[in-house]
Every structure is written in structure tokens, then in C-alpha cells.
Amino acid sequence: MSGFVIRGGTVVDATGTRRGDVAVDDDGTIAAVGEGLEGGDVVDASGCVVAPGLVDLHAHLREPGREEAETVETGSRAAALGGFTAVVAMPNTSPAIDCASVVREVLDLGRSAPCDVHSSGAITVGRAGEQLTPMAEMAELGVRLFTDDGDGVQDAGLMRRALEYASGLPVPVTLAQHCEVAALAAGGHMHEGEWSSRLGIPGQPAESEELMVARDIVLSRLTGMRVHFQHLSTGVSVDLVREAKRRGLAVTAEATTHHFTLTDAEVASYDPLYKVNPPLRPDADVAAVRAGLADGAVDAIATDHAPHTQEAKEQAFDEAPPGMLGLETALALALTELDLPIEQVLALLSWQPAAIAGLSDQHGGPVAVGRPANLCVVDPTETWTVEPTASASRSRNNPYAGRTLTGRVRHTFLFGEPVVLEGDAQR
């Protein structure tokens, strides 16, 4: 499709909300925004919202090394179906994304993907927490977010050196932290509390997350560097970030859909579908995460899309790996579960994560003339039922099977190419 008009929708971006058609030029940029636009093919957006494509700060695409669970191709297709035009692939692959050669491999795999795939880079070699990676070399290839996701950087001195090293790079980058003090979390498979006691499953105390958040807020103050906190899950963590922002510190944070839609009571089924890291928390923490998303303490919704094979997830709870799918349901879960206007939900899923990831030049920006046509068209009223077998992912570890959600992506455009039309993947 070359040269077309998205007609009849309501445009929503960081500049506001207005009625208008969007004309896309042959070169994949936005040619005009306004009412009554003509020319080329017509894409129906009646009753829909036209917005900048969503951006996921935190997706596990598994490749290289774990292709039996997911590949860059299948994960990015799931992303496009969920309205995402850009994802940041996490580095806990095999081998880890800890050097320029593996970054190149991931970027090469993403060149033909229906979503713009950006690679993160590990903070430490092999994510082992002992030696800093060559961040400068990876930054030259476009890496803007560094994390040892799956493990927190345990050594405070090493984390300080990482922040100081990053501050001297010629391009702005963000260091993101998986907040978990290993000595406290060791041996735990769910939240430590009432349900872990009832079920006889060893738990991880909330303090294992909160201590790391507190430490890195102090390190951000010490170094002047921004720290991004991944998948916050406790009320105290949210409060710590809120207070740090009040004091003007350079910190940002994300929350996952499962941490504002599910509680640790789900584990009563002993189903490893509900095993995640950090673990699902009690009602009060879920409410606190929702409040943080509403008042700005938490900047972004991330999926932490973590596919696993059926065989892996069918193991006993204490042996199964943590993680669940998220790319195809994130927007609908946010629209269904959060008492927020669609404009705020889109901010949390689009332009705010784009800014954190350093992608605002191409993703999440205003729907305006000359901008890349990275767009999603959302029907905010359509209801649908989650069917894991219909997922584009190679894996099926979706805890929302059978749940009815409101709000669905109708179309997704990547640099002007329709990669999803009427809810169907085009490639």
C-alpha cells in the first residue's frame, strides 16, 4: 500500500486530542493531518483512536539461543498485533547481549520484522555482575538502554562505576535496574506473605525489591545519572520513586500489566503460569502500582513479555521458570483494568516509554506532518476474549486465557507499511 489516508478517527498524541484524518505518503511519513483528506487508498478508522505506535521498554524475544520459546520474528509479530511499533529486546539471551557482535545479530534479525526491534545491552559481562561490558561499543550501534535484566547488579560499587562510565558516553543512555537483592530473594518462588505461608511455597520478601530501589536512588543522586527501575511491584517501591522525583532526582520507572491486574492469590492454583519475577504481590501493592501509574510516579507500562515452552511451564511450581506473555494484551488490559482516560493510557504505553528508551525521534512523537508513520489504530469499545492458541507468539504461557477485555488494535503501521490490518498480521 503506497499513499493512503486513515479516515474517520480521533487523533490522540502528546499534543492533545482532535478529530482528523491522517494521510501517509509513499515514503512512509505523515503527509497531512486534518478533516476531509483525500487521495490514495482509504483505511477505515471510524469510531477509533489514531495514535503513535506503542513502545515496549521490556520484551524478551529469546533470540539468540532460546528460539524454541520465541524468535525475533514471532515476538515482533505479536508486538505489532498489540499495537507496538517498537520494542526493546532484553539481553538475557544465550549468549547474553553483552558485546557489539551480539547486538549486531539481534539488529540483523530485526531488519525484516513487522516491528522496529531495538536491542538493549547488558551492564556486566555475561550478566554475571562482575565486570562492566563495553557499553561504548554497543552505544555506537544504537543501544540506548543497558540492564542485566533477570538479575540485579548486586555490587553497589560496580553499579556506581557503570553509571559514571555511562555518563561519559557521547550519546545519552539509560541504565535500567532489575530490582532484587539476591541474598534476600534466594530460594523464593512467590511473594513472601500470607499466601506463601498457606501454600507452603518459599517466598521472596518485598524488601528484596525495595532495598535495591532505595540504593539506586541514592546512586542516581551521587552520580547525577538517570536510573530506570524495571517492573516495580510494591507500594514502598512506588513511594520511593515518587519521593525521589519530588526531590528532583533523575529516576524513571515502569510497571507491568500483570503487576496491576493479578495478585499473589492466583498462586493458590499452584499453576506456574502465575510465577513471575518479581512475584505477584498482594492487593495493597496492586492498588499502589495503579496509583503510581495514575499520578505519574510510574512513567510507563511495560510488558515484560517472557515466553516459555509448554514443557518448561508444566514443571512443578518451584522448578518452572518465571514469566508470562504480554505483548498482545497490554493495551487492552490497561484500558480494561485502569480507571484512566485513553489519553493517559496511551502516554504510558507510547510517548513516555519512547522518551525513556531514546526513541522519540521515530516513535511516540506527535502525529504530525513529516513524522514517520509509526501508528496504531485502536477501537476502544471492542470487546474480545483472550485465546492463547491464537497468539502470534511461539509460546502459550498466557494467564489471561478466557478473560474478556475491552479495547483492541485494529491497524498498525510501521514506517507507513500496514503490518496489521483489521486485526490480522500482514507479514
Q: What is the pLDDT of residues 90-139, one digit of tens each?
A: 999 999 999 999 999 999 999 999 999 999 999 999 999 999 999 999 99
**Both 206 and 253 in a single domain?**
yes
pLDDT confidence of 195, banded at 50, 70, 90? very high
For residue 415, the tally of other CB atoms under 10 A from its CB is: 17
Q: For position 410, which CATH number holds? A: 2.30.40.10
* pLDDT of res. 184: 98
Distance CA(406)–CA(41), nearest Å, equals 29
Q: Which residue has the cell 522519540?
A: 360
* DSSP 3-state of 227: strand
Q: Does residue 313 lie within any of the structural domains?
A: yes
* pLDDT of res. 1: 55
On whether the CB atoms of residues 303 and 58 are closer than 8 A, the answer is yes
* pLDDT of res. 2: 62
Q: 353-375: per-residue pLDDT in tens?
A: 999 999 999 999 999 999 999 99
Q: 263-303: per-residue pLDDT in tens?
A: 999 999 999 999 999 999 999 999 999 999 999 999 999 99
Long-range contacts of 290-296 (CB under 8 A, 24+ apart): 290/260, 290/338, 290/339, 291/238, 292/232, 292/238, 292/241, 292/242, 292/253, 292/255, 293/255, 293/260, 293/338, 293/340, 293/348, 294/338, 294/339, 294/340, 294/344, 295/242, 296/245
Number of domains in the chain: 2
Closest among 214, 191, 207, 339 to 265, alpha carbons compared: 191
Last residue of a domain, one of 309, 324, 357: 357
* DSSP 3-state of 61: coil
Q: What is the rounded average pLDDT for all residues in the chain? A: 97
**Both 137 and 186 in a single domain?**
yes
Grid cell digits, residue 141: 550501534
What is the share, in percent, of the chain residues with pLDDT greater than 90? 98
Closest among 52, 125, 135 to 360, alpha carbons compared: 52
Grid cell digits, residue 378: 485502536
Q: Does residue 116 lie within any of the structural domains?
A: yes
Sequence-ordered alpha helix ranges (H) in 129-281: 135-140, 156-167, 182-185, 194-199, 207-223, 235-246, 258-261
Distance CA(365)–CA(371), nearest Å, equals 8
* Buried/exposed code over 319-332 (b: 16+ C-beta within 10 A; e: otherwise): ebbbbbbbbbbbbb
Q: Does residue 364 lie within any of the structural domains?
A: no
Tell whether omega for the bond before 279 is within 30 degrees of 0, i.e. cis: no
Closest among 337, 421, 364 to 51, alpha carbons compared: 364
* pLDDT of res. 40: 84
**Both 327 and 410 in a single domain?**
no
* DSSP 3-state of 229: strand
Q: 49-102: per-residue pLDDT in tens?
A: 999 999 999 999 999 999 999 999 999 999 999 999 999 999 999 999 999 999
**Both 281 and 405 in a single domain?**
no
> Model pTM?
0.97
Q: Does residue 345 lie within any of the structural domains?
A: yes
**Both 286 and 333 in a single domain?**
yes
**Both 374 and 301 in a single domain?**
no
Q: Which domain holds residue 238?
A: 53-357
Grid cell digits, residue 176: 535500567
* pLDDT of res. 54: 98
pLDDT confidence of 314, banded at 50, 70, 90? very high
Q: 131-188: per-residue pLDDT in tens?
A: 999 999 999 999 999 999 999 999 999 999 999 999 999 999 999 999 999 999 999 9
Q: 387-403: per-residue pLDDT in tens?
A: 999 999 999 999 999 99
**Both 45 and 62 in a single domain?**
no
* pLDDT of res. 427: 80
Q: 4-7 and 21-24 as β-strands: parallel, antiparallel, unpaired?
A: antiparallel
* pLDDT of res. 106: 98
Catalytic sites, residue numbers? 304
Q: Does residue 105 lie within any of the structural domains?
A: yes
**Both 234 and 207 in a single domain?**
yes
Q: For position 59, which CATH number holds? A: 3.20.20.140
Read off the DSSP letter of residue 220.
H
pLDDT confidence of 337, banded at 50, 70, 90? very high
* pLDDT of res. 101: 98
- Based on the number of CB atoms within 10 Å of its own CB, is 10 exposed (0-12), middle (13-18) or buried (19 or more)? middle
The pLDDT of residue 246 is above 90:
yes
